[in-house]
Amino acid sequence: MANLPRRVRICEEGPREGFQMEPPTIATAEKIRLIEALAGTGLGDIACCSFVSPTRVPQMADAEAIVAGIHRRPGVRYTGLWLNRAGFERAEATSLDLNGLIVASASETFGIRNNNRDREGMRNGQRELMAAYGKARVTTIAGYVFTAFGCNYEGPISPDKVVAAVEDILTVTSEAGVLPEVVYLCDTVGAATPVTVERAIGTVRDRWPDLPLGLHLHDTRGIGMANALVGLQLGIDRFDTSIGGLGGCPFAGNRAAAGNLCTEDLAYLCEEMGIETGVDLDALIDAANLAESIVGHPLPGKLRQVGRPAR
């Protein structure tokens, strides 16, 4: 465990990716209440909403209203997601903190099915976004590689395909004279295992030893925390998580599949391993209880249910 990071940065995805898997009846005020509770836990990055088609994702039809209603806490970055230039322009018109997003898919079939674009089409779409970021003076860019560990259409994903997707991201950003702050390897369909996580990270690092990497993991088949542990042992210090395990995995082929890695469970693991997170675990547990009360059904997170062990 010599490569364990000293500190881990957790980006909270519950208000965005989590609520997107819930019915579109959750009140805007309740979404804001959870965001503000999360901001009081010490989390520095909270993904609040998505600027996507309200027809396709009615759960996020109130994105602008969510942003407008937040009472911001100093030191917290309130971010969002978009998939194209129109979505970015909607986000730009709000008071969100704008982190540029550049994406690629290790599975070209997934990119075609999900984004209606092949690999070249994806690159061109990201070039349009980079032009928009330049115009808006957005200089903080994060890359995301979808289906880095497996695909429902193509099956297992070879590390070479992950490298090709990372290369697409770096090509698009370098053309604009920008380097991404981090590139996340995403377990989009919940197919990752400790072996594939280690293999993908190792292969990418062989090609780009100094490229900062993060993990966007799902707990679809119950081994999300094992995958996170491998990432920690390899020095990964950025993770996307969801409070209480809120949400699901829309691409798993099973509506009962668990969603993102649970925020408070990962924070607890880090605390027990001596890794700093900057978060208050008790406050996170309170936020997870709030999330469960808002959605009205049990959430899968473990720490919230049993608490910390006696000392």
Q: Measured between alpha carbons, how far is 51 from 81 in angstroms, rounded to an integer? A: 6
Three-state secondary-structure class, residue 118: coil
Q: State the number of CA atoms in the 13 A half-sphere of 264 facing the CB.
A: 27
Residue 249: active-site member: yes
Closest CA relative to residue 31, chosen from 73, 59, 52: 59
In sequence order, which residues have a C-beta less than 8 Å from that of residue 295 and are 6 or more positions away?
Answer: 22, 26, 246
Q: Measured between alpha carbons, how far is 241 from 107 in angstroms, rounded to an integer? A: 23
Backbone phi, psi, residue 207, to 5°? -85, -40
Q: Is 161 left (phi over 0), alpha (psi -120 to 50) or beta?
A: alpha
Q: Which of 11, 186, 249, 262 is catalytic?
A: 249
Answer whether 233's CB lies under 8 Å from 225's CB. no
Widest CA span in the chain? 56
Q: Residue 253: how many CB atoms within 10 A of its CB?
A: 11
Give the active site residues: 249
